[in-house]
Amino acid sequence: MKREDPHEYTSPANTRGRNRCIYPELGKPFLSNRFNPLLVLEQDTVGVHDLLYAACDDWMYRSRGEMNHPNCRDNFNAALREIDFQPGGQPDPHNLFQNSPVIDLEGHLEIRESPAKPGDYVVLRALEDLVVVVTACSVDRGVLNGGEPKELLLEVHE
């Protein structure tokens, strides 16, 4: 999200549409909800990411009969509360390292385990003064995280 205007934030839908690709690509921008480039993917050791899935949230887990399950939407909002930043919306995520390819011509998706291994990384370059929130996926079953959430190491460079 732009620090000066929290109503402008990254948009996977606009990124897909403008870049004409359902996956992030090296050198291509992540666009905002106003079609402005906010970030550029500069390095990527994995090359498998998702721009299709929304953030999991309490409503999704409740629909499955699970109450108070950790989720990315709550983690996102908690991180912003910690820095007293009011978002101007609830942006959909760019799911880095998530492996959920389109598997047929009808557009069906499959969720697979990420090929990312410890030490793999992406480098994103900010094109604006941004507030960037990163959450580690909370899914604790199935193949998405190999059955357990993983830790992340983040580095910010000037």
State pLDDT tens for residues 46-96: 999 999 999 889 999 999 999 988 888 998 999 999 999 988 888 999 999
Query: Which pairs with CB-CB distance under 8 Å and at least 24 residues apart come from 103-112?
Result: 109/52, 109/53, 111/142, 111/143, 111/144, 112/143
- The per-residue pLDDT for 89 is 85
- The per-residue pLDDT for 158 is 81
Domain ranges of the chain: 12-126
Q: How many CA atoms lie within 13 A of 78 on its CB side?
A: 9
Rounded Cα distance, 116 and 48, in Å: 8
- The per-residue pLDDT for 109 is 94
Where does the pLDDT of residue 148 fall: very low under 50, low under 70, confident under 90, or very high at 90 and above?
confident
- The per-residue pLDDT for 139 is 74
Tokens found for residue 117: 């291994």
Rounded Cα distance, 110 and 4, in Å: 38
pTM for this prediction? 0.86
Going edge to edge, which strands form the sheet with 29-31?
Answer: 29-31, 37-44, 122-126
142's CB contacts (< 8 A; 6+ apart) are 111
- The per-residue pLDDT for 83 is 94
Contact 130, 3 (CB under 8 A): yes
